[in-house]
Amino acid sequence: MKILLIGGSGNIGRAIAAELSGRHEIIAAGRHHGDVRVDIEDEQSIAAMYRQLPRLDAVAVATGGRNGHVGPLAEMNAERYRVGLDAKLMGQVNLVLRGLDKVADGGSFTLVGGAWQPQAIVPLLSNVYMANAALEGFVNAAAVELPRRLRINLVSPLLLAESEAEYGPLFRGVPLVEARQVARAYSLSIEGAQTGQTYRLGRLD
Amino acid sequence: MKILLIGGSGNIGRAIAAELSGRHEIIAAGRHHGDVRVDIEDEQSIAAMYRQLPRLDAVAVATGGRNGHVGPLAEMNAERYRVGLDAKLMGQVNLVLRGLDKVADGGSFTLVGGAWQPQAIVPLLSNVYMANAALEGFVNAAAVELPRRLRINLVSPLLLAESEAEYGPLFRGVPLVEARQVARAYSLSIEGAQTGQTYRLGRLD
């Protein structure tokens, strides 16, 4: 398969490349690295990226762009919620919408969610939880409308072991999941048969 | 209790009023009806509404404003997804953020989601599912950050029996739920003790 991997330089992206590059052709895309450049918050940049690419069998997204505004609920407002809605949510949604004609029959889109478990919710991240939940709703709904047996799934890891040093203080006690386990969920989505699924990694129950 | 009911003239709003008005004081707010007027898509209108009101014990939202853009996935774009994100999602989020100082200790916010079940997803509604899922993420996350024992829950009905004539053709075969059952979930949220919950009504399993 020809797999477009967007955000290949992060922990998850590198693990996906390690998991899949032995048996598939990976085309890496990123804001600063990769075979093609793309800013997922810019629809024109997404369109320009797809124009440069051959027919694809899968689009795997491993970045949420700016992700979401981190801050106390009491200091949130519509503008701050807009960060996650424009970047992580609509950035990925636009990658799907603009890529519909680029992916071969039976091909797949795999998006990235994140910190997801109601029992393990921590403060400061309401924008991130909002965007991740919205992605789940989108993936559920888009799955029933995709043409040509195209499929779509969401991979939602809790805290990456590889990110503990950076984000651990925000997520004290939250279960860790290794990037290579997350990459296996991408394999399940891309090389499997399911659609409309959310693959959750790192549970506390 | 003094309960602000936003969207009191719809099917759910009328059922909430019928359920709660015998034992509580209901202040009705709406775009065209009610004791006070509010356009939930306009933050200044929300702020102006709250300025006119006394201290509240509960805010119950029974309207999602314009709700969301209904249309085929192939015709969706960022601007159309913005309808549900600005109206149903951020309209309700702003009702919470702007109302934080207006609700007495231990008081509650109850928001309205909707068509929610992955097994009963129908076409054309990806914007609505996105906004409803995002509300669930927001409610989960806001619950752990609300001060003064304030609580927040989401009521998510599938298709209302009372709306079958209007929306039934969009939702063939989807389980029906009566507005008075939905109103009982508002009672559970307002008169109960839980927070961060999504009360789902109308399941197919």
pLDDT digits (tens, 9 = 90+) for B32-87: 999 999 999 999 999 999 999 999 999 999 999 999 999 999 999 999 999 999 99
pLDDT value at A44 more than 90: yes
* Residue A115 pLDDT level (bands cut at 50, 70, 90): confident
Q: Do A74 and B138 touch (CB under 8 A)?
A: no
- B204 CB near a chain A CB, below 8 Å? no
Q: Do A130 and B138 touch (CB under 8 A)?
A: yes
Average pLDDT, chain A: 96
The reported pTM is: 0.97
pLDDT value at B118 more than 90: no
Rg (CA), chain A: 16
Place of tokens 């008169």: B191
- Contacting residues of B for A126, CB less than 8 Å apart: 137-138, 141-142, 145
Question: Among partner residues A94, A123, A133, which is closest to B134 by beta-carbon distance?
Answer: A133
Q: Nearest-CA neighbor of B131 among B94, B86, B171, B72?
A: B86
Please say whether the beta carbons of B98 and B50 come within 8 A.
Answer: yes
Q: Do B89 and A132 touch (CB under 8 A)?
A: no
The C-alpha atoms of residue A186 and residue A201 are separated, in whole angstroms, by 11
List the 87-126 stretch of A: residues with Cβ below 8 A of B.
89-90, 93-94, 97, 100, 118, 121-126
pLDDT value at A203 more than 90: no
Span A90-118, average pLDDT: 96
According to the model, what pLDDT value does residue B116 have? 85
According to the model, what pLDDT value does residue B49 have? 98
According to the model, what pLDDT value does residue B205 have? 80
Question: Among partner residues A73, A94, A135, which is closest to B145 by beta-carbon distance?
Answer: A73
Other Cβ atoms closer than 10 A to B42: 15
* Residue A205 pLDDT level (bands cut at 50, 70, 90): confident
Q: Shortest Cα distance from B86 to chain A (angstroms)?
A: 9
Angle at the Cα of A173 (from A6 to A15), degrees rounded to 5?
25
Average pLDDT, chain B: 96
pLDDT value at A105 more than 90: yes
The C-alpha atoms of residue B54 and residue B52 are separated, in whole angstroms, by 7
Write the CA distances from A63 to A16, A28, A38, B20, B127, integer angstroms.
12, 12, 11, 46, 22
For domain A1-199, the CATH class is: alpha beta
pLDDT in tens, B167-186: 999 999 999 999 999 999 99
Span B128-142, average pLDDT: 98
Span A136-147, average pLDDT: 98
Query: Six-digit token pair at B86?
Result: 């600005």
According to the model, what pLDDT value does residue A51 have? 98
Span A37-50, average pLDDT: 97
pLDDT value at A122 more than 90: yes
According to the model, what pLDDT value does residue B15 have? 98
The C-alpha atoms of residue A40 and residue A47 are separated, in whole angstroms, by 10
